[in-house]
């Protein structure tokens, strides 16, 4: 979609099927938005829906969508089916921070935006699965440590030790002994 002089030009279907040159991909996918014409924008209350979109919505939304695509590419969203990147969160944060009414204010993170805080109080999100949070290295360390622990616990001598500890806990009421030990230590 190209935006020239405030008017949207129809996109040719062939553009989507042809393989563009590498250096022109960014220019085709993420157009540089030109300034709106010097003519005064139409009255938002009396203009047609198309004029309203072209004059008030698209000049703000299209740069945000371009930033969204660049961020999604940085987050490798196009390489896998699942990702921790939430596009609507990014776009909300971007639009909030680029609002001309907030020009002199500092950058605000998504979860610090007032209306987002209010919404999340009433509609909490489920936790993000570890498979999306952890890197491959961190996940492999957790899996390997679990597997090493499992293999050690399967060893006969370790099984015998664990049975002895269980029996000791049951016979001597180990919780009481530990509690008494710490009371004596604190009294010193």
Contacts of 66 (CB under 8 A, 6+ apart): 30, 31
pTM: 0.54
74-94: pLDDT as tens digits? 988 888 788 888 899 999 999
pLDDT at 14: 39
Give the CA radius of gyration of the chain.
Answer: 30
d(CA 146, CA 152): 10
Q: Which residues of 94-119 are buried (b: 16+ CB within 10 A; e: fewer)?
A: bebeeeeeeeeeeeeebeebeebeee
Of 150 and 5, more confident: 150
List phi, psi (to 5°) of 81: -80, -35
4: β partners: 7
Joined together, the tokens standing for residue 53 give 């979109």
Task: Residue count of the chain, please give it.
Answer: 188
Average pLDDT in the chain: 80
Report whether 58 contacts 50 (CB < 8 A): no
Domain chopping of the chain, boundaries = 49-127, 136-187
158-188: pLDDT as tens digits? 999 999 988 887 887 777 888 889 999 999 8
Report whether 58 contacts 48 (CB < 8 A): no
Report whether 137 contacts 113 (CB < 8 A): no
């Amino acid at each position: 979609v190209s935006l020239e002089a405030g008017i949207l030009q129809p996109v040719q279907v062939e553009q989507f099927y042809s393989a563009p040159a590498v250096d022109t991909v960014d220019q085709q996918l993420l157009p540089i938005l030109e300034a709106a014409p010097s003519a005064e924008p139409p009255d938002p209350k009396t203009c047609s829906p198309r004029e309203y979109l072209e004059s008030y919505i698209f000049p703000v939304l299209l740069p945000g969508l371009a930033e969204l695509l660049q961020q999604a590419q940085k987050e490798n969203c196009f390489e896998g089916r699942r990702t921790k990147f939430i596009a609507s969160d990014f776009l909300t944060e971007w639009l909030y921070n680029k609002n001309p009414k907030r020009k002199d204010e500092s950058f605000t993170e998504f979860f610090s935006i007032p209306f987002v805080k209010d919404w999340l109080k009433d509609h909490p999100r489920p936790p993000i699965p570890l498979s999306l949070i952890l890197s491959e290295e961190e996940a492999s360390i957790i899996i390997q440590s679990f597997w090493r622990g499992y293999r050690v616990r399967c060893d006969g001598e370790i099984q015998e030790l664990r049975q002895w500890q269980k029996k000791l806990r049951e016979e001597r009421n180990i919780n009481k002994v530990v509690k008494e030990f710490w009371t004596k230590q604190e009294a010193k």
